[in-house]
Amino acid sequence: MKHFKPLIYPLCLALLVVSAVIPPALRADEIMRLATQPEKSAELHFLKPGKPEAATVLPPPPIAGSPEQAADLDSVRAVYHSASEADKTAAYGEKKFTVFNFSQAVGPFFVAANLPKTAAFFKKVQSDAKLVTDQGKDFFRRPRPFTSDPSLSNGKLEKSFSYPSGHSTESMTLALVLVQVWPEKKEAILAHARQMGWQRVQIARHYPTDIYAGRVLAQAIVKQMNKREKFEKDVAEVRAEILAAQAASHN
C-alpha cells in the first residue's frame, strides 16, 4: 500500500474538482430542455426578438393525463399504423429539407444550382422559423408521442420536445413565403407543406396538435417578416431570379 500512497491525494483532489464542476443529476426534462436551447450565436434575419413568440401565439398543448391528451395519442397510433411504407419512406426522406423540396410544386428548374439568391434567402427564412420554433418547444416541453408510448418508437429518435412541430412550422413558413414569391403555384406549394407536416405524424414523431400549432405559428412568423423592409426587398429580388431561371429553362 505504501507504493500507492502518493497517488491517493492527487486522486482525491481530482474527484473534488470534478464534483464541484458537475451539477447534481439533472431531470430528464431538464436535459431535454438544455438540448433544445438555441445556440447563443443564433441570429435572426427577418424577425425582431420575441416577434412572434410561440408562448403567446399558441395555446398550450393537451395536458398530460387528460382525455384530450389520450385522444391525441390515439390519433398518432391510428395514423402511424395505417401509414403505408411509401408514406413512411417519404417522411424519412424529408427529415432534413430546404425550400427546394418544393421543386415538384414549382417546376424542375427550381433547384439550388440555378438560384443562389433564392437559396441564401430561404435559408435565412428557415433559420428564423427554426429559432422561434425551438423557443416554443423549450417553453411548452411536451414529450414526443414515442415517449408516452414506446411501441411507437422507430428509426433514429429525436431528443427535442414535440410542440410545436419544427417540420410543420418551417415547411409552412417556407411555403407561405414561396407563395408570395411565386403565387402561380400557391395550391401545390401549400399542399406540399401540409404533407410534410403530416408525414411527421405518420412516423409518430408528432401529435396532430403539434402539426396544427406549427401551421398557426408559421402564419405569425411570416406576418412579422412582412413588416421588415429588407424582407420585402429580398422577396422582389428572389422573384426576379426565379422568373429568369424559369425563362432560361424554356430556351
Q: Is the pLDDT of residue 26 over 70?
A: no
Q: What is the pLDDT of residue 17?
A: 33
pTM tops 0.75? yes
Question: Residue range 29-49: average pLDDT?
Answer: 60
Q: Is the pLDDT of residue 41 over 90?
A: no
If you search the block for the grid coordinates 431528443, which residue do you land on? 159
**4-13, 102-111, 204-213: range with lowest mean pLDDT:** 4-13
Q: What's the rounded Cα separation, in Å, for the pair 251 and 234? A: 26
Q: Which one-letter DSSP state was computed for residue 205?
A: S
Average pLDDT, the chain: 87
Question: Residue range 88-109: average pLDDT?
Answer: 95
CB 222 within 8 A of CB 173: yes
The domain locations on the chain are 27-249
pLDDT tier at 222, thresholds 50, 70, 90? very high
Could you please state the CATH topology (level 3) that the domain comprising 27-249 is classified under.
Vanadium-containing Chloroperoxidase; domain 1 (1.20.144)
Q: What one-character-per-residue DSSP string does 29-45 give? A: HHHHHHHHSPPTT---S
pLDDT tier at 251, thresholds 50, 70, 90? confident
pLDDT, tens digit, 9 for 90 and up, residues 134-188: 999 999 999 999 999 999 999 899 999 999 999 999 999 999 999 999 999 999 9
Q: Is the pLDDT of residue 16 over 60?
A: no
If you search the block for the grid coordinates 497517488, which residue do you land on? 7
Percent of the chain with pLDDT over 70: 83
Q: Is the pLDDT of residue 98 over 60?
A: yes
Beta bridge partners of 48: 51
Q: What's the rounded Cα separation, in Å, for the pair 117 and 94? A: 23
